[in-house]
Amino acid sequence: MFKEFVAVNLSHQPPYELWEGRLISHAEQVARVANIHDALKRHNPESIVYPEDFQQVPLEVLKQVHLPEYVDYLLSLREKCSEDYWLASSFGYGGGIRRPTEEHGLLGYYSMDSYTPVNNKTTEAALIAASGAYSAALSLEAGNRAAYAVVRPPGHHSGKRNMGGYCYLNNTAIAAHTLSQQGRVGILDVDYHHGNGTFDIFEQNQKQGEAQAVYPISIHADPGRKFPYRSGYEDQAGNDHFKYKNYPLGEGVTDEEYNRVLLKALQDLADYNPDFLVVSMGFDTYGGDPIADFALTTSYYRQMAKEIMDLKLKTLFVQEGGYEIEAIGDNALSLVKGIKEGLK
């Protein structure tokens, strides 16, 4: 069985982001997931689950994945903020920094960039997205072979104690952490950007000395030239206690070039021999994406899904980026066709 968990989250609509010194209209728009939803609804409406039927992600789970004080901070924004969006301008980085009391300082303390605005509705939207990923994970535990959490805001740049890159709660990490209670979990991040938040969360959690329960692999644009500009280099592969893998790529990557790298990443995952696979799924690798520069085609997402499903694991796809709203419905439909072919 295959289910799609869809949350368009109409109330979260950040109007702008601060990019290279200018306010530009925000790339992470409602229309992204609304257009995916329209395409999936035309194709197969009976496989869709909506927020009213999601299991709410428990606070306890959020606080195992993220730092509890960061979760409490996000929850407090529901009262602290108005409908006007805030953007941080002084960021929390480096060692020895202390938690400020002033509100804009505090927002920056928990944020990594000027791309991730908050208002009084943002936390609610992030909770619904996280609950979609959580519910999809539970559906795999209940016996589904595959699921697709079509949610926004995305999650993979949100780390142990930070928002960033349009992300507030790490939907992929919440799903992977949940599944890791039942078995070993591989994570494959195929968004155009490095999944720095996901890597950070599991690296921090593994420092407690537990056995490694997840193995993250990311294929993405070279972080020397593209966001998140800080991690995702090939020689970053973890240590004896926590292993992971990075496949950074140059610009203009074609379907054939991408697929060669994908097959390597899938072999790494097969060697780890997980029980579950969580895929951070971005369509910002598409040739027409306005903020990225790979050259993948719509039909490739079908092949990508088939290659992934060939691992024969219980597999959850979680929506991350993808900003070409005209093509995003067709790209998601192509992916879903590949997933369904892979069920056989």
Q: Given the rule CB under 6 A, which residues bind ligand SP5? A: 19, 24, 115, 154, 157, 165-167, 191, 193, 227, 282, 284, 290-291, 320-321
What is the closest distance, in whole angstroms, from the C-beta atom of residue 128 to ligand SP5 in the complex? 17
Check residue 294 for interaction with Zn ion (CB under 5 A): no
338 binds, among Zn ion, ligand SP5, none (CB under 5 to 8 A by kind): none
User: What residue 200 binds from ligand SP5, Zn ion, none (CB within 5 to 8 A, per partner kind)?
Assistant: none
Interface with Zn ion by CB under 5 A: which range of 31-39, 118-126, 243-251, 275-283? 275-283
Residue 191 within binding range of Zn ion, rule CB under 5 A: yes
Whole-angstrom CA distances from 209 to 45, 77, 177, 198, 217 are 44, 33, 16, 18, 21
192 counts as binding Zn ion under rule CB under 5 A = yes
Binding-site member from 113, 284, 289, 330 for Zn ion (CB under 5 A) = 284
Residue number of the CB closest to ligand SP5 reads 321
Angle 184-162-109 from CA coordinates, rounded to 5°: 155
The residues that are catalytic are 157
Which one, 221 or 277, has the nearer CB to ligand SP5? 221
Which listed range, 41-49, 91-99, 127-135, 279-287, lies at the site for Zn ion (CB under 5 A)? Answer: 279-287
Q: Which amino acid is at 108?
A: G
SS3 content of the chain, % helix, strand, coil (to 5): 40, 20, 45
Q: How many CA atoms lie within 13 A of 210 on its CB side?
A: 13
Which are the contacts of 251, defined by CB distance < 8 A and separation ≥ 6?
221, 225, 293, 294
Interhelix angle 196-206/171-179, nearest 10 degrees: 40
Which among 19-27, 75-83, 101-109, 191-199 is the span making contact with Zn ion, rule CB under 5 A?
191-199
Residue 193 sits in the site that holds Zn ion (CB under 5 A): yes
Task: For residue 115, give every residue at least 6 positions away whose Cβ sits within 8 Å of its Cβ, in sequence order, or none.
Answer: 17, 18, 19, 164, 165, 166, 227
Q: CA 170 → CA 135, 180, 198, distances in Å?
A: 14, 15, 7
Site size for Zn ion (CB under 5 A): 6
Residues that bind Zn ion (CB under 5 A): 191-193, 282, 284, 321
